Structure 1
């Protein structure tokens, strides 16, 4: 069983290790499962308000990126968006959304892959995903597609993502806490998070 250890994103070993995940059959199998599950879950949501829904795909994205890292995550993100559009087309295809999905996987990988997981780190991960990708890039893509002012979409998006941020953080903490013992036993994550996820 492979020993999983923490690596800093500022070292070359982190990036070579992340790249080498593409050569592992277990990683590729899990990546395929991530793609399939994300496409299925994308059809489900729980409405909590006007134009506000709890979705579950981010849980699959984050768990997958935690295991196979940011490099594989970029490719899996592209596959998720492209296959999702082919299987469930909605409107016109727009490559900006493909880029957003790729970057979402990449950010999850940067924060969670080969890393000591904490509640603060999970919060920061969702903070950058929600505000950087969903708000920042999402508003830009909407401006391009619907020809309205950027601030109009930015304001709507920032309210939704601010409301959803604590909910999504709690959901992700609970999921990882539930799955860490099994993932540790399979040698997919390091042992230090097996019993509980620390705050800092």
Structure 2
């Protein structure tokens, strides 16, 4: 009996993960370029939901797969594994912070860690390696976008996680 329940849970996780992966890839096509090194994207939302539902391992896997699939389906230049590392890290961050509880303070904490670590530290490093620019100008150029998008992302994530609770149940409940 327990093996059947475990099988159903695994199938459920696989199905939900596949749907979130597809949604993440679709959202990856929609971006609003702001500068040469900065753009607005919503691809993080399904990755954050995956992390919140299934934890950091699944969130990281979905983030990495989403980044790779977006590149395969619609390449926008040479593949750079640093951005895949950032996508994996995003999924892990949301999984660690939001796995147990998806309250607004936790969403703010997850978004803060994501903004600082991924958007303001890792992404400028990757862009520095790719384009040969200095870190500080890239960092300063990204700062306004991060400051503007932070509250928008917190609101979007709060709304999306709240709405997803009605449609997606966690397997451990």
The answer to whether 1:143 aligns with 2:128 is yes
| Higher fraction of helix | 2
RMSD (CA atoms): 2.2
The 5 A counterparts of 1:127-142 are 127-142=112-127
The answer to whether 1:42 aligns with 2:42 is no
Q: Tell me the CA shift for residue 117 of structure 1.
A: 2.0
Q: Tell me the CA shift for residue 116 of structure 1.
A: 2.2
Q: What is the count of residue pairs matched by the alignment? A: 165
Q: 1:89 aligns with which of 43, 54, 75?
A: 75
Larger RCO of the pair (alpha carbons < 8 Å, separation 6+)? 1
Structure 1, unmatched stretches of 5+, are 1-19, 191-200
Q: Measured at CA, do residues 116 and 149 of structure 1 come closer, stay the same or move farther in structure 2, by a change above 3 Å?
A: same
Match of 1:62 in 2: 48
2:94–2:110 contact (8 Å) kept in structure 1:
yes
Match of 2:87 in 1: 101
Q: Aligned equivalents of 1:112 and 1:145: distance in 2?
A: 32
Q: Tell me the CA shift for residue 70 of structure 1.
A: 0.5
Q: Measured at CA, do residues 98 and 187 of structure 1 come closer, stay the same or move farther in structure 2, by a change above 3 Å?
A: closer
For normalisation by structure 1, the TM-score amounts to 0.75
For normalisation by structure 2, the TM-score amounts to 0.86
